[in-house]
Amino acid sequence: MRRRYLAMLFGAALLSGALPATASAKLRIGVTDFAQQNRAPGFFWTNVKKYKMTIIRTQISWKDIARHKPRNPSDPNDPAYNWRVLDQNVRTASKTWFSVRGKPFTGIVVYNVWGTPRWAQKYSRSVAFVPVPTTTAFRAFMQALVRRYSGTFVPDSAPSTALPLPRIQYWEIWNEPNNALGLAKPSTKKPAGVPAGAAAYATLLDSAYRVIHKADPKKGPKAVVIGGAVGGRTGINHVKFYSDLKRLRAKMDAISVHPYSIFPQWGPSDGAPGKGYLQPYYRLGNFDRFVKFVRGWKGRKFPIFVTEIGWQVNPPEKRLGVSRANQGKFLKQTVARLKQFPQVAGMTWYLLRDERTLGGWQSGTYSYFGQKPRSAMHLAWRSVLR
């Protein structure tokens, strides 16, 4: 969760064929692991295919794509942009993932857009993590993104025989914006910065929503803009942040949440009656409260995505980790819990492989140096995606 902010990023997706008959008709299940997808794509996709995952979440790192300010920021051909990694990810994700009864299957990819370049920050004073960007700069970047991944764009630098880049359909805007680690503004009291607030996030979300849907094709599926991605135990609590988004009439086509446990040893029961049910943080134990809130705001059919969830394992994480057996058990219980709510469209487990340092996150199916998956997680994936 929050310690991973020192690494980075991606948000929404190429669409799919029919789900495998053995998977839930509605709940897509998969992983989020930006580092492995970017640095070890062979390893990442081998596991997606091996376990027959039906959704992944990845990240579009604005600050990495645009380290230097473009002269024409809405033009995807501007030479200041470095699209190399993202182009490769989008092309790979659009291909067939695996076959189901002899028919090709391609899952959903949620592309998370996040990370402000320093040149685009709104305030002159710096913050420790991710600063609020100017609306103008963010809008221009979204215009470049949407044009480049419209399904019809061929870069000027591409050979004459090149095919257009695939389309991105699912866009998740920002990551944990309720937290100063996700979206911060300067503060005289806290040099690292404080949460920018729901109004700042709603401005970004609404801007992205308009740009993305302006480019919707006249025929075929429309884009899906996912808002929220709220998580963490610091910053603005979940209930207040989502309530503020409702009050602000934030625009989105689906909503996401990161219902991590506060007490890891409780697993998916954290937040249940007797375990903090009425606390202002959404976890799996009180997930019915979140669903009730969404239904009251957007209706009973409004899609919900759990774009991050996971438990660290001990060893190596001694303070917050659970046993290997419990890690696998919690994955199975998470899927069972989310299947109780037909509105939940997808879930991605945070990390396929542990992060390298103990200061990072250790919730992977693989240890950092491991060549084989942890047995409990291997069996759990086989169980939930059989």
Regions of the chain where pLDDT drops below 50: 1-24
How confident is the model at residue 200, as a pLDDT?
A: 98
Token pair 């959903």 is found at 108
DSSP 3-state of 57: strand
Q: How many CB atoms lie within 10 A of CB 190?
A: 12
How confident is the model at residue 25, as a pLDDT?
A: 52
pLDDT tens digit string along 205-261? 999 999 999 999 999 999 999 999 999 888 999 999 999 999 999 999 999 999 999
How confident is the model at residue 319, as a pLDDT?
A: 93
Q: How many CA atoms lie within 13 A of 350 on its CB side?
A: 26
* In the chain, domain spans: 2-384
pTM, to two decimals: 0.93
Torsion angle, alpha carbons of 172, 301, 240, 11, to 10: -10
CA distance 208 to 222: 14
What average pLDDT does the structure give for the chain?
A: 93
SS3 content of the chain, % helix, strand, coil (to 5): 35, 20, 50
DSSP string, 188-229: SS-TT-EE--HHHHHHHHHHHHHHHHHT--SSSPPPEEEEEE
CA distance 342 to 345: 7
CA distance 11 to 287: 23
Q: Are 21 and 100 in contact (CB under 8 A)?
A: yes
324 Cβ neighbours under 8 A, 6+ residues apart: 313, 374, 375, 376, 377
H or E element in which residue 36 lies: helix 34-39
Q: Is the bond preceding residue 280 a cis peptide, omega within 30 degrees?
A: no
How confident is the model at residue 102, as a pLDDT?
A: 95
Q: Is the bond preceding residue 316 a cis peptide, omega within 30 degrees?
A: yes
Topology of domain 2-384, CATH: TIM Barrel (3.20.20)
How confident is the model at residue 26, as a pLDDT?
A: 85
142 Cβ neighbours under 8 A, 6+ residues apart: 113, 207, 208, 211, 212
Q: Are 171 and 11 in contact (CB under 8 A)?
A: yes
pLDDT tens digit string along 1-53? 433 333 333 333 333 334 333 333 589 999 999 999 999 999 999 999 999 99
DSSP structural state of residue 168:
P
